[in-house]
Amino acid sequence: MNRDILLVEPAFVTKFPPMGLMKISTYHKHLGDNVKFIKGISDNIAYECFWDRIYISTVFTYNWLITIKTIKHYKSLVQGDLSRIYVGGIMATLMAKDVFEATGVVPIQGLLDKPGMLDDDNQLIVDKMIPDYDLFIDSEQKYSLVDDSYFGYSTRGCPNKCDFCAVRKLEPTFIEYRGIKTYIKKIKQNFGEKVHLVLFDNNILASKKLDKVVDDLIDLGFKKGAKFSYKGKNNQTVYKKRYVDFNQGIDARLLTENKMKLLSKIAINPLRIAFDHIKYEKLYSSKIDLAVKYEITHLSNYILYNHTDTPEDLWNRLRINIDLNKKYGLKIYSFPMKYMPLDARDRSYINKPAWNWQFLRGVQRILNVVKGIVMPGEDFFYRVFGHDVDEFKMILHMPEKILMNRGRTIGPKEDEWRKKYKKIEKNNELGELISILCSHRGKHDLSQVTRATKSIHIKSILEHYYINDEASLSLFN
């Protein structure tokens, strides 16, 4: 008898498709079951049929509230039969005890890499299955990768044990070669050929079989300069450049000249290199030199902040990329990533005393305006982030309304604020200003906030942050 299977992804924002659910879909369709995917909470789904099983995926722990709410909602559909509900994924693995205490559901931890993990009497291994690209056909939720990219892993895990990274818990065993050719060919056979290849390997350079991985990718049609052909308008052949993207980034510490030479043989775009701490400045710059030597010019950069760094460190790492762009004529796109502890239930963590609420809020507002990407242009960078560390810190002190409405020229409101800021800086009162802004965030009563200081300069500048009119109040909502 065919079973009815419901796959659920909570309604958090993500651009990547839930690969775990896609593989579970393949698994159940192989068994002849009916599968449906839904994003978020649906009040009507209970009336469609009797759901034999409900699977709920979890991702980042800071999505705790919406994820737990989703689990509780679908738990109510199984009418006390918890054997019908399965919860797995990143958060379920990192916070299994917490999830159980909050929902009463015992999560599946780690990868589905052994037979029988879904309580069925067979030898099928879910993690080795190809993802179901047809899962979202009848869903309002769409993912761009499904349309144009193969995605998967050529290795698993990472031998490093970095304190800020969850891979050591999610994939504790490092598998340095998985043989991706058969996997990709099955996707092509079942769902058609894709243009690009996105690999989620957590540390591809740690593999001693990188040469075999590269050979596999070339055999699959992803050598450097490779193009994908298809029929366009008037039946004319159209060619599109293909790319390979090691989306999780590569470890600069393991990037030797021989490995760079190997990577240069494939259509890698972009080459993503992590730059997690300013102490790696010389190392990182030397790897960019290597990339240029081997004609890899499409580069991207993950920059961790709010971890063991300072705002000065963040600015300097971003500026280093600007200098390298100028030196070599490159376009390195930087992606600052805010550090969160592995058990954080929201995004409120602050690495004190280097960082504070005002500074993190300022960085986030800048990134919101630029859509999370620090563009490679020199003029753009200095205008947005300041010409030096001191100006960057001044920008982080700015009221949100001024910060988010800055232009190429300084307007009267910003000019007035800057003059007041300079007086406070001269009087060594910036620490007191930050303390007031952080301890009174969310408050709107200017007269109440000004009572927190005796400084006439701070009292004067606070009117730029706390103005009792509806337009200004909206900034805090």
pLDDT at 261 over 90: yes
Over range 262-267, report the average pLDDT: 98
**What does the DSSP assignment read for 369-435?**
HTTT-B-S-HHHHHHHH-SSHHHHHHHHHS-HHHHTT--SS--HHHHHHHHHHHHHHHTT-HHHHHH
Is the residue at 238 inside a domain? Answer: yes
Q: 153-162, 231-240, 383-392: which range is least confident on average?
A: 231-240
Report the C-alpha gap between 340 and 306 in whole angstroms. Answer: 8
Report the C-alpha gap between 142 and 60 in whole angstroms. Answer: 20
Is the residue at 139 inside a domain? Answer: no
Over range 312-327, report the average pLDDT: 97
| 3-state per-residue secondary structure call for 75-134 | HHHHCCCHHHEEEEEHHHHHCHHHHHHHHCCCCCCCCCCCCCCCCCCCCCCHHHCCCCCC
Give the pLDDT confidence score for residue 139 in this predicted structure: 87
**Residues 393, 404 within the same domain:** no
**Residues 198, 298 within the same domain:** yes
Asked if 231 contacts 238 with a C-beta cutoff of 8 angstroms, the reply is yes
b (16+ CB within 10 A) / e for 154-184:
bbbbbeeeeeebbbbebbeebebebebeebb
Give the pLDDT confidence score for residue 406 in this predicted structure: 87
Is the residue at 136 inside a domain? Answer: no
Q: 42-46, 218-222, 285-289, 353-357: which range is least confident on average?
A: 42-46
**Residues 41, 84 within the same domain:** yes
Q: Are strands 237-241 and 227-231 parallel, antiparallel or unpaired?
A: antiparallel
Give the pLDDT confidence score for residue 69 in this predicted structure: 98
Domain extent at residue 52: 4-128
Give the pLDDT confidence score for residue 34 in this predicted structure: 97
**Residues 386, 419 within the same domain:** no
Q: What's the full length of the chain, in residues?
A: 477
**Residues 56, 119 within the same domain:** yes
Is the residue at 138 inside a domain? Answer: no
Is the residue at 133 inside a domain? Answer: no
**Residues 290, 196 within the same domain:** yes
Last residue of a domain, one of 363, 397, 431: 397
Over range 422-438, report the average pLDDT: 97
Give the pLDDT confidence score for residue 141 in this predicted structure: 87
* CATH code of the domain in which 243 resides: 3.20.20
Is the residue at 416 inside a domain? Answer: yes
**Residues 281, 429 within the same domain:** no
**Residues 404, 393 within the same domain:** no
Last residue of a domain, one of 397, 429, 460: 397
Contacts of 364 (CB under 8 A, 6+ apart): 338
Is the residue at 137 inside a domain? Answer: no
pLDDT at 474 over 50: no
Residue percentage of the chain with pLDDT more than 90: 85
- Cα–Cα–Cα angle for 244, 322, 373, rounded to 5 degrees: 55
**Residues 190, 120 within the same domain:** no
**Residues 207, 356 within the same domain:** yes
Last residue of a domain, one of 334, 367, 397: 397
Give the pLDDT confidence score for residue 468 in this predicted structure: 53
* The total number of structural domains that make up the chain: 3
Q: Express each pLDDT in 162-199 by its tens digit.
A: 888 999 999 999 999 999 999 999 999 999 999 999 99
Is the residue at 288 inside a domain? Answer: yes
Rounded mean pLDDT of the chain?
Answer: 93
Contacts of 205 (CB under 8 A, 6+ apart): 250, 251, 254, 255, 259
Q: Express each pLDDT in 18-37 by its tens digit.
A: 999 999 999 999 999 999 99
Report the C-alpha gap between 378 and 117 in whole angstroms. Answer: 52
Confidence of residue 469 (pLDDT cuts 50, 70, 90): very low
**Residues 370, 414 within the same domain:** no
Contacts of 92 (CB under 8 A, 6+ apart): 58, 99, 107, 108, 109
Give the pLDDT confidence score for residue 314 in this predicted structure: 98
Instruction: Tell me the whole-structure pTM to 2 decimals.
Output: 0.92
**Residues 115, 226 within the same domain:** no
